[in-house]
Structure 1
Amino acid sequence: MRMHKNLKQAAILPLFLLGISSLSNAQSIDPMVSHIDSTETPGHDFFLYANGKWFKQNPIPASETSNGIFQIIQDTINAQIHDVCVSSAKLKNSVKGSARQKIGDLFLTGMDSVSLNRMGITPLKADLARINQIANINQLMTTAAYLRTIGAGSMYGLGVGQDDKISSKHAVFINQGGLSLPDREYYFATDARAAKVREAFLTYASKMFGLMGYSEAQAKSAADEVMKLETALAKVSRKREDLRDPLLNYNKMTFAKVASENPSLELQQSLAIVGLPKVDTVIVGQPEFVTALNGYIKTMPLSAWKSYLKLRLMSAYSDYLDDKTFKIAFEYSSALRGATEPRPRWKRVTDEVDGSLGDLVGQVYVKDYLPKGTKEKLMEIGTEIKKVYAERIKNLDWMSSETKIKALHKLDVMIMKVGYPDKWKDMSKMQIDKSSYASNMKRVAQWHYNYMISKYGKPVDRTEWDMQPQTYNAYYNPSNNEIVVPGCNIIVPGYERKMADDAILYSIIGGSTFGHEMTHGFDDQGAKYDANGNLANWWTPEDSTKFFTKTKMIVAQFNKYIAVDSLHVNGEMTQGENIADLGGVAMGYEAFKKTAQYKNNQVVGGLNPDKRFFLGYGMAWMVNIRPEALANQIRSDVHSPAKFRINGPLSDIDAFYKTFDIKPGDAMWIPENQRVKIW
């Protein structure tokens, strides 16, 4: 993916939805140029040079963990979605079961703080009572299976998805999971930030148990039990960087074998409860975790497992309950991510409506807010990037003709889904009413889980989208060999009533979106899938060795970057996204060189085409983030921090050095023979 889904912002800045192109009507003060911090030099820190003035003028709001381009755009989208929510909630006679009825009622129950505070945790009382009544391992595992269907997953991950080696079929997957902290490293890291997060989690857990009626001593004991249990699970969990190899995390076994070797998991009953009564094979991601969990279920006290399930349930629903419960959850979140005050209720509820009813909201969004011609413009840019990619592959000096033929075929058949789907998900069976926010969100979770499970045994629908047109993000799916670019990616901040020039379009939409996602088909993971989306080796041994030698170079480059305190970027964990960033900016630049703006050396905003392109790429990752959130990202996110998504790949682009006169001694200088060049 090109960016994070969870970045929001409070302030709404002027936005331009792409319309009719006009270079001649350039504004007197170009929006992008106004971001430049002249106290910085390009060779010292291009991230701050390109964006520093904007950061100084737009500090991170107290309710946010970051501020920047994603937040600007997402907040504008959220304001539009909020209008959809409010207008839907005001309808007096909306048809029951209609999109507007469901959107309106979910929004109303989320905004009704009076009712939420009156009910407290009552909406969860029946489920908490069910956990209290657990008397043996069978009841423990079947209750855990039920909780998984309502969004309170625990112990391990269980789902249905495309078989990595047979992409035309769906398979059942079992993976490690069940941790409350963002990543296993939080349980063992010795630095002050990790210790603070563990302390905050214990405080949070104790307060949550207090809400459930525990005495202070009982609550502390239960919190300690949960931490001990989760630390044991974390110990047998693979590191995030080790989860990146699809071959090492693909272990297909017969269901009978997995069930017989792990009897404590009660898999036959557990799978039946979630809607999978007849399963022949299972793909186990991390067999050693499953084996260890099987042992822990027997050896850990039943009381600890019950406390664990209760906390998982409360954590899953804390946003949908009363203010007291939400406040306790926010205090923990603040320690983890740094925001000092919660976001306004209307923003939180709008987010939930969008996330829960995305396809229903999307239909309204496309009709009322997405500019006409969006699909066509996105496809035009994507097609140009694809052409350049083909040229680059043909001219590679390290790849053999045999492998080039297969790489070009994979690129040629790569599907580009842009704008919005031609067919929307059928959400008619999802029931939303005015009963309570938590009850509605429980039914939402059940619908989404059942929707996933129902795919088992059915043909793979390669037309399906996993994002909505109003989601400012994009993704590559290796099993479908497809890139998906939602319509709102057409938004570019700061340009009124005219299309941004090609330097910006080809850096942001062309490079950091299309080029980035296409490169995922050829990064350290995507390169292991063939043109049909199957996990298979299509490389000659020599080419494979050369490729992974190059990927090791980018790992080493990013390992050197210090993000916050003494925490370095994890080059191994982030290498796929770093490869995609490098490929994206390279493809975007080559495609831009074919435009009239570049060929005619048109100056816009006082910048020649080269400077404007690279500054446009700098704007693509204009994100300022709190130290707490940055530390969390380093440990749990496969994306490098925004600063290094700019400075890292640009340090490998020769044209960048020439454009900004980067010289030895500059912080961003890398000797030419050490610059990473892959695609």
Structure 2
Amino acid sequence: MLFRNLANACVLLSVVLAACNTSTNKNENKPDPLVTNRDTTVNPAQDFFHYADGGWFKAHPIPSSERSNGIFRTIQDTINDQVRRICEEASKANDATGSNKQKIGDFFASGMDTVNIEKAGIAPLKNEFAAIDSINSIDAVIAAIAHLHSIGASPLFSFYISQDDKISDKYAMLFAQGGIGLGVRDYYFDNDGRTKNIRNEYVKHIQKMLQLSGTDSATASAGALNIMKLETELAAHSRKLAELRDPEKNYNKMPVAQFNKLTPAINWNNVLPLLGIKNGDTVIVGQPEFYSALNNTLSKFSIKDWKAYLRWNLINAYASYLNKAIDDENFYFNATILSGVKERKPRWKTVVENTNGYLGELIGQVYVKEYLPEGTKDKLVEIGNNIRDVFAGHIKKLDWMSDSTKTKALYKLSKIVMKVGYPDKWKDMSNLTIDRSSYAQNVMHANQWFYNYMISKWGKPVDREEWTMMPQTYNAYYNPSNNEIVVPACNIIVPGFEGRMPDDAVLYGIIGGSTFGHEITHGFDDQGSQYDDKGNLRNWWTKEDREKFLAKTKLIVEQFNNYVMLDSLHINGDATQGENIADLGGVVMGYEAFKKTNQYKNNETVAGLTPDQRYFLAYGYAWMVNATPESIARQIRIDVHSPAQYRVNGPLSNIPEFYKTFNVKPGDAMYRADSLRVVIW
């Protein structure tokens, strides 16, 4: 996945559509972002990221209400304004109950109604708390866990319906490790000062949240300590982030009867119907050792402990939608402690983002009608096909891959489905009930809708036309089970070129390289390369070719393991290798496609920059993100993407043309010896 870490960025699209057919900037008097973003006090051979983007960072410090600032934050602010207008207009309309506008308007209005939210307090969760309080057995604990999954919480384990990795035309039930509030196991065991402080703050946070949910101080204090012990127990049997990236090791298909043997204390024949599954006979278990350990965990803690744990999971899931005291405490831990954010953003922004998060399918339909000009899909497909053609040329010229594997690789490449722009059909959300009475209840209804939508897939043919991103989402992804890339319409925009046309160097550096090139390469990274043209987890490589490929990926793992952020945090090269491979492939393919344009062939200079300079600066612009130290530290812990600095410096340090363009010499920080430079595709 591209993971721009930004949703809903469809801004100023119309200004760039014609640009794909031209390479000349017709308005030389306007400032050029590639020029003004630079910090020319930085040597590009030492740190290209800060050379390309440092000028912008100096002029635009991170707001105290944000964890980062940069290209995505700028676009997000514009999108928030646009979605706000849609929400406010919908909230003033008198459309019939059940219409898209009614749901959008009422959801937004309920979130803005702080008087009603404050008056309600925790009342929206009253019935759920009462059900938890009535638990008197382990069987009742398990039943409550199943129910909480259906309303947006995720205690004890992860459960979802998705395509079977090895039979991609069928849906499967998947069970994976889960149930830990800090997300990854490292937070529970690493002993550096930063992580210890987070653990200490986490226990305090749980205690405060339990108290705010109605638990007395002494019970909340004891409950928080026991919840931490319980989650540490779950974490102890959880795989590390890098291990979760091996699809073969995380594919353990078994009959439900065998699953029951893993967890004698849990009868899954009884639990599956509670999860909404009828006649379930086979499951895929991601981490069997996690489930084997659940028996001890279930018996090790008292019913009282489990009730506190479930109460915590519920209040944690709904904290952002409840009264100010709960919302503020939730913000303090999750935003301030974990990400370094000091102030709250205006409430309307939060509510807009939540409305778009839950009702983006409905808002997206408005965007398509009101903001996207005709031709969007065609232009995206044109760029995507150019990148695919370049990728095919690279495969044909590989000196490390045999002809038989090349044939299969080329066939898989030719079968990649490109979903671009927006879906041809939308999800039917007509049975989702939204009104203005309760913000938290609206969220609960939406969570139930999405859960039921997921469950409804069970037993049905796979819908390969489904999208999991909206047209207003500034992001993209590769789905190995469908052998498809999905690029929403807004990825064609280039902020900073308002009222004029970006040149091809910019378009291919951002849209071609960091988007289409990146996502196509995901089909051939360490994970994606294990899936065939139909999306099945199946080896299509010769043994020798696979070994050569893994030797090359090992080099990129070693490269990124050596990068250090902040004081002493090394990037996890194993966990991030798929994204690093995709970044490298993307920038290479984008550059090769750019070389076919008239701008490159005619060596046209724009804003005093050569085509090569502009292309690499545009790639740097694609990742112009400045983040707080706390946010970077958290990203390294939980994310499979490298921090923005090394999404730029890492891949570029492997490209000879970059060395030539910016005069990189031995001894420079960006320099890597020929023997260490990673060349894969």
| TM-score of the pair, normalised by structure 2 | 0.98
> Displacement, 1:6?
5.1
Q: SS where residue 264 of structure 1 aligns?
A: coil
> Displacement, 1:641?
0.2
> Displacement, 1:277?
2.1
**Distance in 1, Cα, partners of 2:81 & 2:372:** 14
Q: Specify the alignment match of 1:413 in structure 2.
A: 415
**Distance in 2, Cα, partners of 1:31 & 1:330:** 34
The one-letter amino acid paired with 1:144 is I
Q: Is residue 2:178 matched to residue 1:177?
A: yes
Q: SS where residue 378 of structure 1 aligns?
A: helix
**Distance in 1, Cα, partners of 2:398 & 2:236:** 43
**Distance in 1, Cα, partners of 2:495 & 2:14:** 6
Q: SS where residue 176 of structure 2 aligns?
A: strand
Q: SS where residue 265 of structure 1 aligns?
A: coil
Q: Specify the alignment match of 1:298 in structure 2.
A: 299
> Displacement, 1:335?
0.3
Q: Specify the alignment match of 1:50 in structure 2.
A: 52
> Displacement, 1:7?
7.6
Identify which of 651, 656, 667 aligns with 1:665: 667
**Distance in 2, Cα, partners of 1:95 & 1:213:** 38
Q: Is residue 2:235 matched to residue 1:234?
A: yes
Q: Work out whether residues 7 and 472 of structure 2, in 8 Å CA contact, stay in contact via their aligned partners in 1.
A: no
> Displacement, 1:101?
0.5
Q: SS where residue 157 of structure 1 aligns?
A: strand
Q: Specify the alignment match of 1:3 in structure 2.
A: 3
RMSD over aligned CA atoms reads: 1.4
Identify which of 18, 31, 34 aligns with 2:33: 31
> Displacement, 1:210?
1.0
**Distance in 2, Cα, partners of 1:374 & 1:499:** 15
Q: Specify the alignment match of 2:215 in structure 1.
A: 214
**Distance in 1, Cα, partners of 2:604 & 2:148:** 60
For structure 1, list consecutive stretches of 5 or more residues without a partner in the other structure.
none
Q: Is residue 2:582 matched to residue 1:584?
A: no
| TM-score of the pair, normalised by structure 1 | 0.98
> Displacement, 1:120?
0.6
> Displacement, 1:216?
2.2
Q: Specify the alignment match of 1:560 in structure 2.
A: 562
Q: Work out whether residues 249 and 286 of structure 1, in 8 Å CA contact, stay in contact via their aligned partners in 2.
A: yes
Identity %: 55
Q: Is residue 2:502 matched to residue 1:508?
A: no
Question: Greater CA deviation, 418-427 or 65-74?
Answer: 65-74
1:339-372 superposed Cα distances (whole Å, 9 cap, x missing partner): 0011211111111111111111100011111233
Q: Specify the alignment match of 1:259 in structure 2.
A: 260
Question: Greater CA deviation, 583-592 or 201-210?
Answer: 201-210
Q: Work out whether residues 17 and 379 of structure 2, in 8 Å CA contact, stay in contact via their aligned partners in 1.
A: no
Q: Specify the alignment match of 1:60 in structure 2.
A: 62
**Distance in 2, Cα, partners of 1:8 & 1:629:** 21
The one-letter amino acid paired with 2:450 is H
**Distance in 1, Cα, partners of 2:454 & 2:215:** 36
The one-letter amino acid paired with 2:269 is Q
> Displacement, 1:256?
1.6
Q: Work out whether residues 13 and 72 of structure 1, in 8 Å CA contact, stay in contact via their aligned partners in 2.
A: no
Q: SS where residue 237 of structure 1 aligns?
A: coil
> Displacement, 1:14?
8.5
Q: How many matched pairs?
A: 676
Q: Work out whether residues 136 and 302 of structure 1, in 8 Å CA contact, stay in contact via their aligned partners in 2.
A: yes
Say if 1:138 and 1:17 are closer, same or farther in 2 by CA, change over 3 A: farther
Identify which of 362, 365, 375 aligns with 2:364: 362
Q: Work out whether residues 16 and 498 of structure 1, in 8 Å CA contact, stay in contact via their aligned partners in 2.
A: no
Q: Is residue 2:201 matched to residue 1:200?
A: yes
Q: Is residue 2:160 matched to residue 1:162?
A: no
The one-letter amino acid paired with 1:538 is W
The one-letter amino acid paired with 1:674 is L
Identify which of 422, 426, 429 aligns with 1:424: 426
Q: Specify the alignment match of 1:97 in structure 2.
A: 98
Q: Specify the alignment match of 1:595 in structure 2.
A: 597
The one-letter amino acid paired with 2:129 is L
Q: SS where residue 159 of structure 1 aligns?
A: strand
Say if 1:98 and 1:216 are closer, same or farther in 2 by CA, change over 3 A: same
Q: Work out whether residues 268 and 277 of structure 1, in 8 Å CA contact, stay in contact via their aligned partners in 2.
A: no
Q: SS where residue 173 of structure 1 aligns?
A: strand
Q: SS where residue 386 of structure 1 aligns?
A: helix
The one-letter amino acid paired with 1:2 is L
Q: Specify the alignment match of 1:287 in structure 2.
A: 288
Q: Work out whether residues 7 and 473 of structure 2, in 8 Å CA contact, stay in contact via their aligned partners in 1.
A: no
Q: Work out whether residues 8 and 64 of structure 1, in 8 Å CA contact, stay in contact via their aligned partners in 2.
A: no
Q: Specify the alignment match of 2:132 in structure 1.
A: 131
**Distance in 1, Cα, partners of 2:485 & 2:12:** 29
> Displacement, 1:261?
3.6
> Displacement, 1:450?
0.7
1:462-481 equivalence runs, <5 A:
462-481=464-483
Identify which of 372, 375, 386 aligns with 2:374: 372
1:60-99 superposed Cα distances (whole Å, 9 cap, x missing partner): 00110000111112222222111110110011x2111111
Q: Specify the alignment match of 1:18 in structure 2.
A: 16
> Displacement, 1:543?
0.2
1:462-506 superposed Cα distances (whole Å, 9 cap, x missing partner): 111010000110000000000000011111111122321100000
Q: SS where residue 167 of structure 2 aligns?
A: coil
**Distance in 1, Cα, partners of 2:360 & 2:230:** 35
Q: SS where residue 175 of structure 1 aligns?
A: strand
> Displacement, 1:191?
1.1
Q: Work out whether residues 8 and 79 of structure 2, in 8 Å CA contact, stay in contact via their aligned partners in 1.
A: no
> Displacement, 1:599?
0.2
1:63-142 equivalence runs, <5 A:
63-91=65-93, 93-142=94-143
> Displacement, 1:274?
2.1
The one-letter amino acid paired with 1:185 is D
The one-letter amino acid paired with 1:181 is L
Q: Specify the alignment match of 2:443 in structure 1.
A: 441
Q: Work out whether residues 632 and 643 of structure 2, in 8 Å CA contact, stay in contact via their aligned partners in 1.
A: yes
1:481-560 equivalence runs, <5 A:
481-560=483-562
**Distance in 2, Cα, partners of 1:16 & 1:79:** 18
Q: SS where residue 74 of structure 1 aligns?
A: helix
Question: Greater CA deviation, 236-245 or 345-354?
Answer: 345-354
Question: Greater CA deviation, 362-371 or 515-524?
Answer: 362-371
**Distance in 2, Cα, partners of 1:19 & 1:464:** 26
The one-letter amino acid paired with 1:404 is K
Q: SS where residue 169 of structure 2 aligns?
A: coil
Q: SS where residue 484 of structure 1 aligns?
A: strand
**Distance in 2, Cα, partners of 1:470 & 1:190:** 41
1:575-613 superposed Cα distances (whole Å, 9 cap, x missing partner): 000000000000000000000000000111110100000
For structure 2, list consecutive stretches of 5 or more residues without a partner in the other structure.
none
Q: Work out whether residues 8 and 472 of structure 2, in 8 Å CA contact, stay in contact via their aligned partners in 1.
A: no
Q: Is residue 2:147 matched to residue 1:146?
A: yes
